[in-house]
Amino acid sequence: MSSDLPENDGPPPKKPRPPGGKYRRQKPSAQNAAEADEYEDEPPMMHVTPTGLVFDGPEDAPATLILAHGAGAPLDHPWMNDMVAALATKGIRIVRFNFPYMQQAQRTGQRKPPNHMDTLLEAYEQVIELVGDPGELYIGGKSMGGRVASMLADDVGAKGVVCLGYPFHPPGQLERVRTEHLYAQKTPTLIVQGTRDPFGTKYEIESYDLAATVRVVFIDDGDHGLCPRKMTGRTQADGLAEAADAVARFIESKERGKSRRSRLVRPKHVIPGQS
Q: Point out which residues pair with 55 in neighbouring strands.
A: 95
Q: Are 72 and 110 in contact (CB under 8 A)?
A: no
Q: Mean pLDDT throughout 195-220?
A: 97
Residue 144 lies in a domain: yes
- Give me the amino acid identity at 165: G
Please indicate, yes or no, if residue 237 is contained in any of the structural domains. yes
Residue 167 lies in a domain: yes
**Could you report the per-residue pLDDT of 173-185, keeping only the tens digit for each?**
999 999 999 999 9
For position 188, which CATH number holds?
A: 3.40.50.1820
Residue 35 included in any domain: no
Specify if 102 maps to a domain: yes
Which amino acid, one-letter code, is at 247?
V
Per the domain annotation, does 207 fall within a domain?
A: yes
The CA distance from 73 to 98, in Å, is: 9
Domain presence at residue 32: no
Quick one: average pLDDT of 215-229?
98
pLDDT attached to residue 51: 58
pLDDT at site 259: 52
**C-alpha distances in Å from residue 107, one per residue of 98, 101, 111, 125:** 12, 10, 10, 23
**How do residues 142-177 score in pLDDT, each as one tens digit?**
999 999 999 999 999 999 999 999 999 999 999 999
Could you list the residue range(s) of the whole structural domain that residue 47 is in? Answer: 42-255
State how far the Cα of 128 lies from the Cα of 123, in Å rounded to an integer: 9
How many domains, in total, are found in the chain?
A: 1
> What pLDDT digit, counting tens, does each position of 5-38 carry?
333 333 444 434 333 333 233 333 444 444 344 4
